Amino acid sequence: MSIEDVLPEAGQDGPLYAALTQLDDAAELIGLAPAIHQKLRKPKRVIAVSIPTLMDDGSHQVFTGYRAQHSMERGPCKGGLRYHPDVNLEEVIAGAMWMTWKCAVVNIPYGGAKGGVICNPKEMSQGELERMTRRFTSELVEVIGPEKDIPAPELYTDAQTMAWIMDTYSMQKGYSVPAVVTGKPTVLGGSLGREAATGRGCVFAIREAMCRLGLPLTGATFAVQGFGNVGRWVARLLEPLGLKLVAATDSQGGCLNPDGISVEALVEHKVQSGTVVGLPGTDRITNKELLALECDVLVPAALENVIHQGNAGDVRAKMIAEGANGPTTPAAQEILNDKGIFVIPDILANAGGVTVSYFEWVQGLQAYFWTEEEVNERLEAIMVRAFEEVYAESQARNVDMRAAAMAVAVGRVAEAQRMRGIYP
């Protein structure tokens, strides 16, 4: 399937438009060869499969699943798998492209992939999810693998999902293949430190950025949109550095206290109630209101396109660290630039997850495992180096951090393509 098959339906606020715009801007900035530019605008492979699944009531439901593989110039593909009613081909292709740049910007030997199944996991039993996952895996068994494409958990998938994929793939091969997925349970070869990795990497990037901008850590304020795994860990790890959480939201709304919110109290409240709304000592706030709060650091860690042309002018944070993928549209980025807001782009800010996934893959291939301290130290080294490289590129070219990160990433992928050539 060609990318043009979905482009007519992709609006200018859609993820695919944003991904292609960012690539085109980077191509112009670095003088990318037209042939390589055109190749990178298209995914290497897109797979769409039907997934007949036995439901608990004895009926069968046929789900649709996708896997897009954007690039293999620098190594096997790597990317998440999401279960959601709104999964569509456009976001899957865009996500695969962003994963290519994310892996390249932190300089790990992967290309990008992304997958999803159109379903509502909140309305499915554990047994139904397992049967659907195993059938989906069996449909992809020829195109995934440790040397081809390594899935990982994402929205509404988790370590258990990865365990089912690993087991199904291993049964097809006739032996255990732990390196076929990352984000597995540790008992099956998962890496220590993986759960906190995306949030931890984001915190390293925030720390480095605040140092460059001359912003003191102690007493600085931050707000988190999306208090899920990433947002929760960002908050947990920023607080010990001296920063103060003033607001957090989830899908049901949020809470605000300008004097500060105890992160652990908020975590416990969400565990008990299912939402951050209603934490004692806080006022209720909407997601829209949170984005317009005056604070030092704003962390959008929820969904795509939450900062757009219509609300970017209301943002009053000094810095944005994109914990989510694609939270800022191209039009919004221009507005933020005009306002002088420093943005740590998603392909850098949230690359900690794929970095530790890479560590897990390496450990699985070697059957030799690291301590959590070793994982965190290596993650910090990679994130700090990547931030320094992108920041230096930003200063040298006099461009924003997103443009600089794309220049670094696209340049690396393009150089690999140039050296390999086009076969035949």
Q: Are strands 221-225 and 297-300 parallel, antiparallel or unpaired?
A: parallel
Query: Six-digit token pair at 300?
Result: 């959008």
Closest by alpha carbon to 162, among 143, 202, 189?
A: 189
* Contact by Cβ (8 Å): 276, 255: yes
Catalytic-role residue among 39, 44, 78, 114:
114
Query: Six-digit token pair at 56?
Result: 């608990």
270 carries an active-site annotation: no
CA 129 to chain centre: 23
156: left (phi over 0), alpha (psi -120 to 50) or beta: left
From CA 152, how far away is CA 113, in angstroms rounded? 10
CA 173 to chain centre: 30
Catalytic residues: 114
